[in-house]
Each structure stands twice: as C-alpha cells, then as structure tokens.
Amino acid sequence: MPGFLLSLARIGSYRSLLHAAAGAAIALPVAPFALAVAVSVEADSRVRALIALLALAVLMGLLGLLGPVRRLGIGLANTLLGTSVPAPEDRPDATARLRSGLWLALHTAAGGVLFTVLAFLGLGLLVPAVWLAGGQDRISLFWDDVPLGAWTVPFGLVVAVAALALTAAATVGLRAGATALLGPSAAERAAHAERRAAVLAQRNRLARELHDSIGHTLTTSTIQAAAAAELVEADPAEVRRALGTIEEASRSALEDLDHVLGLLREEPAAKEPARTLAEVDVLAVRARDAGLDVRLTLTGPVAALPAAVSREGYRIVQEGLTNALRHAGPGAVDVRVEAGPERLAIAVVNALPGVDPRPGRRGLAGLAERVEALRGELDAGPDGDRWRLSATIPLRAGA
C-alpha cells in the first residue's frame, strides 16, 4: 500500500490518460456507426445509450482483428504505457487477432472510464472552489441542490485522491492487459524460437565456412610468405612461384568470403563456390607448395559422389592439411580418398605435432558436426607415431 501511494507522485503513473486519449481518437470515426445502431432501436434514452456503448465495443473489437491495428496497438502501448511488447514478426493468427480485438475494445472502454474519472476530478475541484469564492450557498450536485459549507474541502480532497488513484491503477491494469493481449502467443513464441535456432545454426555454419576456407588460406599463405622471404635473394624463381601460390589461394578465399558475407547481408551473393573432392588435387598442390610432401591417393568414382558428401569430403581434407601445416610443419602427409559403393572413406595421416597432439580442436568440432549431419563418423587422434584424421560417410540409407 505505501508503494502504491508513493506511485501517485510519479508522472509515469498517469500514462493511461494519454493512452485513453489515443483510444478516443481511434474510436471517434467508429462512434457515428454505433450511434446509428442505437438510434435505430425503439427505446428510451438510457437504453439507447447502453446500446450505443455495446455497439461501439463490438465495432472496436472487429476493428482490432486487422493486423495493422494490432501493430498500432503495440506501438501505442509501448510508447504511452511504457510496455515492452515485441512487434509481431509474422501475420497474426486467429487467436492473436481475437486477443487484439479484445484489447482494442478494452482500450476504448478504459478510455471512457478514465474520462468519467476526470469529470469527477473536475467536480471535486469545482465544489470547494465555489464555496471558497463565496457569493453562492448552494450548488446543483447529483441532480439536487446541495448546500455548500466546510464539508466541500475534504470532499474535494477525497475526490481528487480517488481520481488520481483510479488513474494510476488504470495505468497498471492497462500495462498488464497490453502485455497479455498484445504480447506473442504460444505459437508466435514457438515460431520465434525456431527462427532463433535457425539463425544460430546459420551462424555456426558460417563460422565453420570461414574457419575451413580462410583459415586454410591464411596458413598456406603465411608459410609461403615466410619461405619467400628467406629465398628472396637466393632463388627468385622460387619466390615468384610462392607468390603465385599465395595469389591463387587468396583469390579462392575471396570467393568464399564474398559468398559468406552475402549470406550475412541476407542478399543474393555471388555464385556459391563449388569446392568438392573433384578439386582435392588443387589442395594437394597448394600444400606441396607450402612445404608438405603430400601423397594423394584417390580410389573409386570420386567425381560421381553426391554433391553434399563431396563438399564435406573436400572440407575434411582441407582441415587435415591445414592442421598438418599449422601444427606438424613440413613433412610427409598421406591423403587417401576411397569412394566405395556404400560409403566414402577419407584419411589424412601426418607426423605427430611436437608440442600439443590435439591440433585444430575448433575445426575438428565443426567437421564432426558436418559428418554427423550426414550420418557419418569422424575420428582424430594419435595412431602410433602418426596423427590420423579419418572420416566415414555412408552413401546409402542404412549403410
């Protein structure tokens, strides 16, 4: 109770007055139709007034079924009542339309009640003002002449405090009503959660794309640049070859980067680079140029692999060569790609890293997700004195 009394001193407690005025403005064009309904009924003035109010409530409820009206209601509630109702992301369903229609009818009714409260507030201030001004000892009040006196001062105070309290209570009630009736329904919350999950999945996919493509290119280019710096005077031809490799790898990375940035901008991007196992020999050449002794073995109809499987196979080989360059340094790397009738098998084997035998954990986690999505298996770890990255991806259901 003390908290509520303290709230009467805050300006924000009377936001409902502005909200009521907005409701009256919305109802103004609809009111003539409600009056027309009331006038068409044979009844006394009180019954007609009640019919007009009911007709106005029904018409406002029907108006609230419109999607743009719901958005307007959310905007008014957030601006004038201080709520934080999220704007709808999709077209409202039937339940959301019914709730917004109920809200608009409630909004209009609350506006009428608040303006009645304001009328009583004016009365509470008028009565003691007339008595204090003197010159009049009676006033028409509640359809009767009432003698004025000292009682008018406490009467005015009580009416004023009651009007303020009702207005503050209406603000609290309207905020709660707006949140309940204009807020997202269970279906909308579920749809939002699905969209959020899709966005997170897309971000993870883009992160993997950047790690696989840009990380591989940077690793190769760094090693090539270091080698070129040492040979710049002794072997200019080798330097030119290294710079050509860096240029080619950078151009390929720019294509991948342009595609990923296009996805982030949510606009049509350049044609998606089609990196498949058909181009795995290009990876081998780049790795050899960076100092690795790559021994590539291809078995089976690699070019006939399904596109999704071939793309992921390319990324697996790319990650294996990148980790070999980054963690094991120059040396022999065996790459075997076997495309059988039922499964694709890939193995990248290189010397164990000298310090940490767990290279590329983030990249390996991304590869594991890719392979798992294709119902395959990925394994990475020491194998004797060598490090083995192997993957098996089925090509048929149940294989």
Q: What is the mean pLDDT of residues 171-176?
A: 84
Q: What is the mean pLDDT of residues 309-316?
A: 88
**pLDDT-based confidence at residue 210 (cuts at 50, 70, 90):** low
- Encode pLDDT of 317-345 as tens digits: 988 888 888 877 778 999 999 998 889 99
- Encode pLDDT of 136-150 as tens digits: 777 776 666 777 778
pLDDT at 251: 65
Give the chain's mean pLDDT: 78
Q: What is the mean pLDDT of residues 66-75?
A: 84
Q: What is the mean pLDDT of residues 169-186?
A: 82
* Residues 4/30, Cβ–Cβ less than 8 Å: no
**pLDDT-based confidence at residue 298 (cuts at 50, 70, 90):** very high
Q: Tell me: pLDDT of 213 over 90.
A: no
pLDDT at 125: 81
- Encode pLDDT of 77-136 as tens digits: 888 888 888 877 667 778 888 888 888 888 888 777 777 777 777 877 888 888 888 767
pLDDT at 336: 94
Domain ranges of the chain: 2-184, 191-394
3-state SS assignment for residue 383: strand
pLDDT at 209: 64
Share of the chain above pLDDT 70, in %: 78
- Encode pLDDT of 357-383 as tens digits: 444 456 677 778 778 878 889 998 888
pLDDT at 216: 64
| Residue 238 Cα distances to 81, 231, 325, angstroms | 72, 7, 19
Share of the chain above pLDDT 90, in %: 8
Rounded distance, CA 22 to CA 174, Å?
13
The dihedral over CA atoms of 224, 227, 229, 234, expressed in degrees to the nearest 10, equals -130
pLDDT at 206: 65
Q: Tell me: pLDDT of 254 over 80.
A: no
pLDDT at 397: 54
pLDDT at 268: 46
Q: Which of 123-127, 224-228, 291-295, 329-333 has the lowest mean pLDDT?
A: 224-228
Residue 44 one-letter amino acid: D
- Domain 191-394 matching CATH 3.30.565.10: the answer reads yes
* Residues 278/303, Cβ–Cβ less than 8 Å: yes
- Stated as kind and residue range, the H or E segment containing 387 is strand 386-394
pLDDT at 124: 78
- DSSP β-bridge partners for residue 294: 333
Q: Tell me: pLDDT of 304 over 80.
A: yes
Highest-scoring range by mean pLDDT, 169-178, 368-377, 379-388: 379-388
Rounded distance, CA 348 to CA 381, Å?
11
pLDDT at 359: 47
Rounded distance, CA 273 to CA 275, Å?
6
Q: Tell me: pLDDT of 269 over 60.
A: no
